[in-house]
Structure 1
């Protein structure tokens, strides 16, 4: 049944369409004004009080894709430390033509690293992490108490106390310099002071803790890191490093100690100094016969002059190529 018409109308239904539109617009403007006022008040409150917590950057370090480079076993490489690389005639002039260059962190400018990258090369940056060198630009930052005895045969170079926070801050700055220059990896030398008469009571545990700390920093900076010599540290560090750099394992009959890196799918960048070991210099088949442990025939071996600039011979797997005069 239909409701009877009483003749009464609601206030809203009695308004004209124009008035209804104006009323709705007025209400909308009031709501927007209240919302803007609330937002402004919150902004002023933050500026006058506690600041918002700073968010970490979302960008990755320059020159990386946010991941750590893992070099391959039996990669070809060159190490040159005494002088910066000379690229005046272009990267193509460098000999031999290898995939990886291990170069001094301090003396090579970013432009050199960029040029190597453009040519498809990877770059490992060398610096001493465990010794003081009096010719480095940051040498004045070390404290006298952090310096131990001189390294045998290297005047002006002294062992460092790896327990020192002063030492750590200086080495940390070097790591960050490597990242800023665009290095793909770092080669921190002289972390085996515990094996020497160091003068600062270094122990194997000190070196292990220091290298673990370096490894964590390298990972945070999206760089690879190698373990230099220090075979005693391999069991605890092989999973935290991407390669090994070894000197003279053939001369000292200890190559088998470094073979676990090959088994783990990681390269051993291996250096011998024939001028110091005549038996190596006179062995024409050295590259094929250097293996002294399972996998060591796959070491990435170079025969070098002691200053690491003079190039003697490059071994690619089990064959020798590119013999150059010093």
Structure 2
């Protein structure tokens, strides 16, 4: 059963005041607001690549690169920016790892079960906006300080997982839209990451979409709401999946979703719908 969408005005009336008061108390008053950033430099149909495992290869003829921030330098990001390539910083908003530099800042009460198949990575209680939004703001600020101009908020679909918390779609919408306003207040663009069933609620607040396996799992139509709204949608299929990537490309062309094919580790090699590079 789908949860009803929250009243966005109510969410950003009482909730945002509470959350951003806490953020400002941490010294971010000058940088956090609910003001939108300027028009996106991305267009529907733009090309992309996604690299979360090293070594990275930044010699890509694309308009957007989603990257693990630990694998790139400020200088590299500056070069990308000078080339007109938007770099999106991969940030987990739904988990914390044992190796996270900020792990000690997460109270035990908000840390739940291990993420499926990932020992050393735990789900977070996304209902605790008072705790998590200031911590995620710090993560977003670190991305901006390094030179990223967008964020890819990973593990947005924590509410669907066996997290150890009684999370709902309403919780996820409230958390994600709050973080979208924080990102925009920092001058960063932000992607919806998967969670296709939340697209109707999230689309007005997010600048583009990054997804994986939408063709394999049969939900590309849902994320196609982004290009219909003149916002880009990017999808990756995986080389270990039993799919016909040519058919995935045809589906992407029909729906204006940019398709690529990657290995499951999201290393540098990529197959586009035109060629392998």
**TM bucket by the smaller chain?**
0.7 to 0.9
* 1:84–1:108 CA contact under 8 A, matched in 2: no
Corresponding residue for residue 255 of structure 1: 220
CA-CA distance at 1:233 after TM superposition:
1.5
CA-CA distance at 1:286 after TM superposition:
3.3
Counterparts of 1:240 and 1:173 in 2: how far apart (Å)?
Answer: 20
Corresponding residue for residue 72 of structure 2: 108
Corresponding residue SS for 2:204: coil
Counterparts of 2:131 and 2:73 in 1: how far apart (Å)?
Answer: 26
CA-CA distance at 1:290 after TM superposition:
2.9
2:269 is aligned with 1:302: no
Runs of 4+ in 1 over 3 A off after TM superposition: none
* 1:162–1:168 CA contact under 8 A, matched in 2: no
CA-CA distance at 1:167 after TM superposition:
2.2
Counterparts of 2:56 and 2:140 in 1: how far apart (Å)?
Answer: 20
Instruction: Choose the corresponding residue for 2:250, options 283, 289, 296.
Output: 289
1:199–1:68 CA distance, 2 compared to 1 (3 A):
farther
Counterparts of 2:99 and 2:124 in 1: how far apart (Å)?
Answer: 15
The count of residues paired between Structure 1 and Structure 2 equals 244
Corresponding residue for residue 109 of structure 2: 145
Instruction: Choose the corresponding residue for 1:313, options 252, 271, 276.
Output: 271
CA-CA distance at 1:248 after TM superposition:
0.3
* Deviations 1:242-285 (CA, angstroms, capped at 9, x unpaired): 1011110111111111111110011111011121x1223xx5x2
Corresponding residue for residue 205 of structure 1: 170
* Deviations 1:274-306 (CA, angstroms, capped at 9, x unpaired): 21x1223xx5x2354334xx952x211110011
Counterparts of 1:77 and 1:121 in 2: how far apart (Å)?
Answer: 9
CA-CA distance at 1:137 after TM superposition:
1.3
More divergent stretch after superposition (260-269 vs 152-161)? 152-161
Corresponding residue for residue 98 of structure 1: 62
Q: Which has the greater radius of gyration?
A: 1
Structure with greater helix percent: 2
Corresponding residue for residue 190 of structure 1: 155
Corresponding residue SS for 1:186: strand
Corresponding residue for residue 214 of structure 1: 179
Corresponding residue for residue 134 of structure 1: 98
Structure 1 alignment gaps of length 5 or more = 1-55
* 2:56–2:267 CA contact under 8 A, matched in 1: no
Counterparts of 1:108 and 1:177 in 2: how far apart (Å)?
Answer: 13
1:69–1:184 CA distance, 2 compared to 1 (3 A):
farther
Structure 2 alignment gaps of length 5 or more = 1-28
CA-CA distance at 1:70 after TM superposition:
4.5
Counterparts of 2:66 and 2:207 in 1: how far apart (Å)?
Answer: 14
Corresponding residue for residue 25 of structure 2: none
Corresponding residue for residue 47 of structure 2: 76
Give the number of the structure with larger relative contact order, counting CA–CA contacts within 8 Å between residues 6 or more apart: 2
Corresponding residue for residue 85 of structure 1: 56
Counterparts of 1:83 and 1:274 in 2: how far apart (Å)?
Answer: 18
1:288–1:177 CA distance, 2 compared to 1 (3 A):
closer
* 1:78–1:100 CA contact under 8 A, matched in 2: yes
Corresponding residue SS for 1:250: helix
Counterparts of 1:198 and 1:84 in 2: how far apart (Å)?
Answer: 31
CA-CA distance at 1:155 after TM superposition:
1.9
CA-CA distance at 1:239 after TM superposition:
1.0
CA-CA distance at 1:183 after TM superposition:
1.4
